[in-house]
Chain A
Amino acid sequence: MNMAQELVAGATTAPPVDPGRRGSGRRRRTRLLLRSPLPLTAAIVLVAIMLVSLIAPAFIADAAQRQDLTQRLSPPFQLSDGFAFVLGGDTLGRPMLLQLVVATKTSLLIAALSVGLSALVGSAIGLISGYTGGWVDALIMRLSDIIHTLPSLLLALVILYVLSPSITNLIVVLALTRLPIYMRVARAQALEIRERVFVEASKALGSRPWRIMLRDIRPMVAPTVLTVAMLEVANVILQAAGLSFLGVGLQRPDVDLGIMVASGREYLSEAWFVTFFPGLLVVVIALAANILSNWLRAVDDPGQSALFVSRKSLRDEEVSR
């Protein structure tokens, strides 16, 4: 009995694509990525930014915080003050370049943690909601409606007002405001999958609901949730920066890209670069993430995006049909 159960479970944990093709799908993606210049550039830029911002702060954290008032708002693109000041000095004479690296690390960490948290919690709730159905489902969906009714920034503003702003609260609030997306996606999938025959089979073999959810349905929901999470990274980076910009997100002495943009606001006419560079970095990161996730979707569904389909390949496809 136990073995039969394992057999059924083993056969059914397979994602929509069978396990044999899964590896080749990844290889196919890598091959495709190497051939498409725009997503490849985006990937390289993103990986480079991640590596630098994860490794470098260990060496430059002190130098980044050191204030040198003679360098206050010193203009960028001059190497006379050393490479650290190549992007100028900020409002307190700290080297912009090093500050940017440290701030990027914080922004990326916040985004990664809150996307991970909301994807995990949201899809779990959605899965339970979709599989269980009934009043649990109705209640959970109404809750998601409520979060969805309120503009995310407003909700975050109010919650961070009640709880004091801190990096943990910021991550939790960002995760909370993005929950409904994952809840809906996971719920819709679970609703569909629970009607499939293999779930019936698992049930007939005596699997308890939590086992069906965890072993049978979860593996099939995971890829979709992952795609959504990829898409969300850029959104969350923008939102976190916005909250910090408004002064309710991260607080000094911690620094992220939103705080850096805000700090240059008062000096816009004298020192444009204090505001300009951190924002530009946000654009670069978000754009690269957006291009990558767009491309990932296009690989699975070529009709989707204009950027990664050439007319020629489309013609070839039509001819071969």
Chain B
Amino acid sequence: MLIFLSRRLVSSVIALVGVVVVVFFLGRLTGSPAHLYLPQGASQEMADNFNRTHGFNDPLWQQFIRFVGDVAHLDFGTSIWQQRPALTAVTSVFPQTLLLAVVAMTLSIAVAAVLGCLAAARRFGPVDKLITFGSLACASIPDFWFALVGVLFLAVHLGVVPTSGQSDLSSWILPVATLMLAPVGVLTQVVRGAMIEALGSGYVQSARARGLAHRRLVYRHALRNAALPIISVAGDRAAGLVNGAVIVGTVFAWPGIGTVMVDAVLNRDFAVIQAGVFVIGLGIVLLNVLVDLTYAVADPRVRVS
């Protein structure tokens, strides 16, 4: 188990290092990054000055070593727009996004588990067909449009939720629903597939032969064994939640990494983009480790091997 975990950790760290390298070279893709860091309309003089003070005239490898050194000190430069360290600008809002993502993912898994079990229990029946169609529909709705239509109905027409911002509990409804859209669609299908397999397997059949109640059979025996693929896909989907967070940030003016990243793009604040990509990459790597650990908890065989 430890060997497995450490191997996964090593490959994750390699991916993270790769992300840092990619970010560095992306910034230099179009020559000097001065025009990326400086506000639009900056004069040539300013650019030259900037290049000199930040050493962008040095050979690329020297710049790269310096960049790696800075990153090792968690120094991503200063946000031009917010006038504070870029990393602080990102980490100060990251918990907000994390909270939203955890709430959305937990609810998604719960909803998908119920729907998937219902569909699998009456396989190919009308309920199954309805749920499968619904999950396909969920995966076909653009989240930004869903968010806007939600605002139109719930906020503008019914007035039960605020149009934007973070206030009481009702302000969470639309952002969470928007984030849940894609994961619910995918996870329901995964749960259904895993449950059909589990329900058809020997131990469930023998439990049924022993006369166990159907409900107990489905939820205690089959669902537990169907948990692994569900966890794995849920972990994979979690990276996609950042996509949703960007949309939620722009549509609902929801404080979080999404708003910061989009603002950074609109205000040409490259330092914040760098820091943001690093923090999100780190978050996803940590999440993958967490998923592996959950695997071990859910499946004793992983723990032994």
Residues in B with CB closer than 8 Å to A279 are 142, 144-145, 148-149
Q: Is A34 an interface residue (CB 8 A)?
A: no
In whole angstroms, what is the CA distance A238 to B241 when docked? Answer: 15
Q: Is A245 an interface residue (CB 8 A)?
A: yes
Shortest CB distance A248–B (Å): 6
- Verify A150–B123 contact, CB threshold 8 A: no
Give the tally of cross-chain contacts (CB within 8 A). Answer: 160
Q: Is A74 an interface residue (CB 8 A)?
A: no
Residues in B with CB closer than 8 Å to A150 are 19, 239, 277, 280-281, 284
- Verify B145–A248 contact, CB threshold 8 A: no
- Verify B156–A269 contact, CB threshold 8 A: yes
- Verify B156–A283 contact, CB threshold 8 A: no
- Verify B123–A306 contact, CB threshold 8 A: yes
**Chain A interface bracket (under 10, 10 to 19, 20 to 34, 35 or more):** 35 or more
Residues in A with CB closer than 8 Å to B281 are 149-150
Residues in B with CB closer than 8 Å to A151 are 239-243, 280, 284
Give a binary string over B8-41; 1 marks a CB under 8 Å from any A CB, 0 the rest.
0001001110110011001101100000100000
Give a binary string over B140-152; 1 marks a CB under 8 Å from any A CB, 0 the rest.
1111110011011
- Verify A162–B30 contact, CB threshold 8 A: yes
- Verify B273–A161 contact, CB threshold 8 A: yes
Residues in B with CB closer than 8 Å to A258 are 142, 144
Q: Is B125 an interface residue (CB 8 A)?
A: yes
Chain-B contact segment, one of A59-67, A76-84, A182-190, A285-293: A285-293
Chain-B contact segment, one of A89-97, A111-119, A308-316: A308-316
Given A234-B140, A261-B148, A268-B156, CB of A242 within 8 Å of CB of B132: no
Residues in B with CB closer than 8 Å to A311 are 124-125
Q: Which listed residue (B30, B240, B251) contacts A163, Cβ 8 A? A: B30
Q: Is B131 an interface residue (CB 8 A)?
A: yes
Q: Is A241 an interface residue (CB 8 A)?
A: yes
Residues in A with CB closer than 8 Å to B123 are 306
- Verify A283–B119 contact, CB threshold 8 A: no
- Verify B119–A306 contact, CB threshold 8 A: yes
Task: Name the residue on A nearest B26 (C-beta).
Answer: A162
- Verify A149–B29 contact, CB threshold 8 A: no
Give a binary string over B190-220; 1 marks a CB under 8 Å from any A CB, 0 the rest.
0011001000000000000000000000000
Given A154-B243, A154-B261, A287-B136, CB of A149 within 8 Å of CB of B15: yes
Given A268-B151, A283-B140, CB of A149 within 8 Å of CB of B285: yes
- Verify A283–B29 contact, CB threshold 8 A: no
Residues in A with CB closer than 8 Å to B23 are 158
Q: Is B265 an interface residue (CB 8 A)?
A: yes
- Verify B16–A242 contact, CB threshold 8 A: no
**Chain B interface bracket (under 10, 10 to 19, 20 to 34, 35 or more):** 35 or more
Shortest CB distance A135–B (Å): 14
Given A149-B16, A152-B243, A162-B30, CB of A306 within 8 Å of CB of B142: no
Task: Name the residue on A nearest B30 (C-beta).
Answer: A162
Chain-B contact segment, one of A2-10, A14-22, A123-131, A138-146: A138-146
Residues in B with CB closer than 8 Å to A246 are 144, 246-247, 250, 262
- Verify A161–B243 contact, CB threshold 8 A: no
- Verify B246–A154 contact, CB threshold 8 A: yes
Q: Which listed residue (B145, B239, B266) contacts A149, Cβ 8 A? A: B239
Q: Which of A154, A157, A275 has the most CB of B within 10 A?
A: A154
Given A149-B284, A153-B242, A314-B124, CB of A283 within 8 Å of CB of B18: no
Given A242-B143, A275-B145, A290-B139, CB of A307 within 8 Å of CB of B243: no
Residues in A with CB closer than 8 Å to B4 are none
Q: Which listed residue (A145, A157, A287, A310) contacts B140, Cβ 8 A? A: A287
Given A150-B281, A161-B273, A162-B30, CB of A142 within 8 Å of CB of B129: no
Q: Is A276 an interface residue (CB 8 A)?
A: yes
Residues in B with CB closer than 8 Å to A241 are 142, 144-145
A–B Cβ pairs within 8 angstroms, 23 of them = A146-B15, A146-B22, A149-B284, A150-B19, A150-B281, A152-B240, A152-B243, A153-B242, A154-B277, A157-B246, A157-B261, A162-B36, A242-B142, A242-B144, A245-B247, A261-B142, A269-B156, A279-B142, A279-B144, A287-B136, A287-B140, A306-B119, A310-B124
Which 7 residue pairs across A and B have the least CB separation, nearest first? A279-B145, A286-B140, A153-B243, A151-B242, A146-B18, A287-B140, A306-B132
Given contacts A154-B280, A286-B139, 16 further A-B contacts (CB under 8 A): A150-B280, A151-B280, A153-B246, A161-B270, A163-B30, A242-B247, A246-B144, A261-B142, A264-B148, A283-B140, A290-B139, A294-B136, A305-B132, A309-B124, A310-B124, A311-B125
Interface residues of B (CB under 8 A from A): 11, 14-16, 18-19, 22-23, 26-27, 29-30, 36, 119, 123-125, 128-129, 131-133, 136-137, 139-145, 148-149, 151-152, 156, 192-193, 196, 239-243, 246-247, 250-251, 261-262, 265-266, 268, 270, 273, 276-277, 280-281, 284-285
